[in-house]
Amino acid sequence: MDGTIILSREETPIREAPERSRQPQSRQQEECGLRVAQVVAGLSQALDLGSGQPVGHAVRTCLLAMRIAEEIGLSSAMKSDLFYGSLFKDAGCSMNASKMFHTLASDEIRAKRDLKMTDWTRMSWETVSYAFRNVAPGRPMAQRMAALLRVAGNSKTRNWEITKIRCERGAEIARMVGFSEGTAAAIASLDEHWNGSGLPERLSREQIPMLSRIMLLAQTLDVFFTARGAADALWVIQARKGEWFDPKLVDAVESIDACGYLWADVSGDFVYDVVLTMEPEPKWMREEDETFKAICLAFSQIVDSKSPFTFSHSENVAQIARAMGETMQLNKSRLSALKNAALLHDLGKMAVSNEILEKPAGLDEDEWRVMRLHPFYTWKILHSVPRFGEVGEIAAAHHEKLDGSGYFRGFGSGQLSLEARILAVAEIMDALCTKAPWRTGLTSEAALRVLWKDTPHKLDANCVAALEESGLHLA
């Protein structure tokens, strides 16, 4: 199995909050709770993983976009829409993952990463090379040629469908969280090109929202800057000036570069902190606010949309875990942390390709190594968000076992909180009752029997008893 994508993630660690971000909270923070930008910026790392980009891509795109906005004199209201649009631009990236995997018969995360480096709007050696790298690699030549011919035969329709799914779903999720229509529209038209060669609506010139034009340019700058350096990034946008990009925006980028600060802090340790200073109108929320609940729910849906076999999995697990927690008489604060951990426990699966998630047979050793890393990514992402530390500890332990045989850390009973034990049982319960590529779902009664067989050595018997007593998921 080609583990390039995952290995590149290990070499580019998910952001740890720098020391200067860990200062005591101000009175405003204590009164208002969480800053929306900090939460969304931290969780956007999951979107980076699902898009095949080095972590921090969305934040770096945001930084570059805001510099362009400043250069062209964008209004404060439009800057605010652009700020969140840039961070949330890939919210629909998981919705087309399964379709892309089945179309290409390969690792869709690697293919998405590769596509960002390719001018897919015209037939050239570049697009042919992309196809040979990403269509059915490793298969017998006869199968590869058949797959290549199939993909080439309906490439226009396929590209339109895949892009449309991602853009529409991304805009829908932005509205669900409560972002403005300007932000949603910017996400919906992210892949439109100045000359009309983009997708999904073939918009051109001023038909394309200004924020979409800025975001596409900023995104491309970061992709090539991160992969090849500043010179190549500038060369690409100049080469695509008037084709992909609004010429005036390219001129603005060149003006910023001439002043010497285009790339300042883009690759630095404090890029997150710099981006936060660029937010025109900081927004705040409490954990009990609808905005906070909507963000957690949105990211749970983003993850679960990766595969048809995990639809509503995180929401189901959250419902089961909460019912168990109520049965075990956890207080309101602990129930809230448990529910949020359940909703976000699979964030790390954004780093796992559908080639693995939807494999009908058992995973080989390399594939298991990749799969076992997903709780680690969940832990790293959540620990990068202020005040999400406890949620991260619970969420990352959802595959741990009392006897130390679980993953990713091999924790034993003495290291697992009650909430972590509850989540482990709830996760297994929903997984057993859900259809998977390698088996049909069990009835609730049969799943409970499996759970009881793993007590008390692997699973907490009191938690399994609480599940049974709650009556939830026992239809």
69, 213 contact by CB (below 8 A): no
Instruction: Name residues whose C-beta falls within 8 Å of residue 453's C-beta, 6 or more positions apart in sequence.
Output: none
Neighbours of 166 (CB within 10 A): 28
Asked if 62 contacts 86 with a C-beta cutoff of 8 angstroms, the reply is: yes
Return d(Cα 109, Cα 101) in angstroms, integer: 9
Q: Which residues pair with 403 in a beta bridge?
A: 412
- Torsion sign (Cα): 37, 40, 43, 46: negative
Cα–Cα distance for residue pair 405/393, rounded to 1 Å = 18
Q: 36: Cβ–Cβ under 8 A, 6 or more apart, which residues?
A: 282, 283, 284, 285, 291, 295
Q: Which two tokens stand for residue 116?
A: 């960002």
| 71-72-78 Cα angle (round to 5) | 110
**3-state SS record for 156-203:** HHHHHHHHHHHHHHHHHHHHHHCCCHHHHHHHHCCCCCCCCCCCCCCC
Cα–Cα dist 454/474, whole Å: 19
Q: Are strands 284-285 and 34-35 parallel, antiparallel or unpaired?
A: antiparallel
Host H or E run for residue 365: helix 365-371
| Whether 47 contacts 38, CB under 8 Å | no
Catalytic residue, from 89, 241, 349, 380: name it: 349
Q: Is-contact 32 286, C-beta < 8 A?
A: yes
Dihedral angle sign, alpha carbons of residues 53, 57, 58, 62 = negative
CA torsion through residues 105, 110, 114, 116, sign: positive
Active site residue 349: yes
| Residues involved in catalysis | 349
